[in-house]
Amino acid sequence: MSFKDLIKTIKIGQVKQLIIWFFKHPFFLVATVYATLITIRIAQREFPGIHGKHNKANAFRHALWNVLIAKKCKRFSNHLPKVMNWTTTFTNWHEDFLKNEDLPRFMDLHNNEIGRKLFVAWKDQNTESLVKLLKVELSNAKKISKLNNLNQIENLVFLED
């Protein structure tokens, strides 16, 4: 999707929601932006030019994004449910903000959720350790072609090789 096409899909309510979040949770929002930039840099380093497709690299990027958002937000709050709620709310908002077909959207939501679960298990790891651990998880990723039983899969998922 081009930047011009992206702009056309933006709804004023979504922008308004983002502004409200900024004023309610400025530290979390800044941490989220920072985590997003780190995630993109790492995804590009680990999977040059291919992490934007519906492949394992994309699954890695979504899971890492959620792990890093939670990790960076944890610096501002030790209340884990609050951090996890923010991470879930923001990443779900992002999937609603950027229109996607059903299967890729649910794949992204699933991989986001897996990333949050992994964060809980790995919250004390540094970023490079997280990348290594996540690459091991990626070796167990499952290729899917339909939505059936997606909620029963406990691994990262992808759509294409």
For 66-90, the pLDDT digits (tens) are 999 999 999 999 999 999 999 999 9
Domain, as residue range, for 121: 11-158
In whole angstroms, what is the distance from residue 66 CA to residue 107 CA? 14
Q: What is the pTM of this model?
A: 0.89
Residue 107 falls inside a structural domain: yes
Residue spans of beta strands (DSSP E) within the chain: 142-143, 157-158
Question: What per-residue confidence (pLDDT) applies to 16?
Answer: 81
Per-residue pLDDT tens for 85-127?
A: 999 999 998 888 777 888 999 999 999 999 999 999 999 999 9
Cβ neighbours of residue 13 under 8 Å, at least 6 residues apart?
A: none
Residue 65 falls inside a structural domain: yes
Residue 1 falls inside a structural domain: no
Quote the number of domains for the chain. Answer: 1
Residue 41 falls inside a structural domain: yes
Tell me if residue 143 falls in helix, strand or coil. strand
In whole angstroms, what is the distance from residue 32 CA to residue 15 CA? 16
Residue type, position 24, single letter: K
Question: What per-residue confidence (pLDDT) applies to 121?
Answer: 96
CA angle 62, 21, 87 (to 5 degrees): 30
